[in-house]
Amino acid sequence: MRGRNQGPPPVEVFLIILCILALYAGVMWFRRCRFKALAPKLRGKHVPGKWLASGKLIGERFEIEARKGFKSLRTYVTVSVKETPGNWLIKADFFSKFPDWKHAKILGRVSERVFVTTVEVDRYVEPTSEQKEPLLRWFGSSIDSQRVRRMLANAKAREITLAGTSATLSFGGVVIDSEKLIASIEALRAFPAGSR
């Protein structure tokens, strides 16, 4: 006879765990199928990921991938651009009153005090006038900043990361809204083109 403080029998625990794993696999498979269905709408192709991962969508000058970010799953929309003059973090409002430098930061080294010592760390910092000029030249005179701002608003994008030969937007979770992804790609394609 079982005592009052004993848990459920091992078979029941095994079945509960098996049901949870089956439910998880089903959700991941459904997410992968929906992500794959976006490829024709974006005029791209789907590259499957490992096991039940969503994979990537690859097209002309763009790549979309849902992957683990710092804390959670994120969708990254990356477009190839001309080599950027440094690593920048640009908020969408930068394009409202182009250029609004309150909304642009460049990756730089700063000293931080940790206990009894000082360490150098990489952090986005306010750009100097010497750093602003190359970015303005990179954008060129032909950029339609208001159009970029509208497309970023349509995509509900808050910030862009420019680094190397890529411009990237990221969103929390796995984005399967084709209109949001198309608006993201078009906003980033307004930047000087690179080769991919």
What ranges do the domains of the chain cover?
10-189
Output the tens digit of pLDDT for each of the chain's 196 residues: 455 667 667 888 888 888 888 888 777 777 777 778 888 888 888 887 777 667 788 888 899 888 876 777 788 999 999 999 999 999 999 998 888 899 999 998 888 888 888 888 888 889 998 999 999 999 887 788 888 898 888 888 889 999 989 999 988 877 778 888 888 888 888 888 875 5
Q: What angle do CA 185, 188, 190 make, to 5 degrees?
A: 115
CA distance 81 to 61: 8
CB atoms within 10 A of CB 8: 11
> How are the residues of the chain apportioned to helix, strand and coil, as percentages rounded to the nearest 5?
35, 30, 30
Provide the 8-state DSSP code for 85.
S
Query: Does a cis peptide bond (omega within 30 degrees of 0) precede residue 99?
Result: yes
CA separation, residue 104 to residues 13, 58, 120 (Å): 53, 28, 21
How high is the pLDDT of residue 134?
Answer: 92
pLDDT at 163 (0 to 100)? 92
Residue matched to tokens 């986005």:
124
pLDDT of 89 reads: 93
Supply the pTM of this predicted model.
0.77
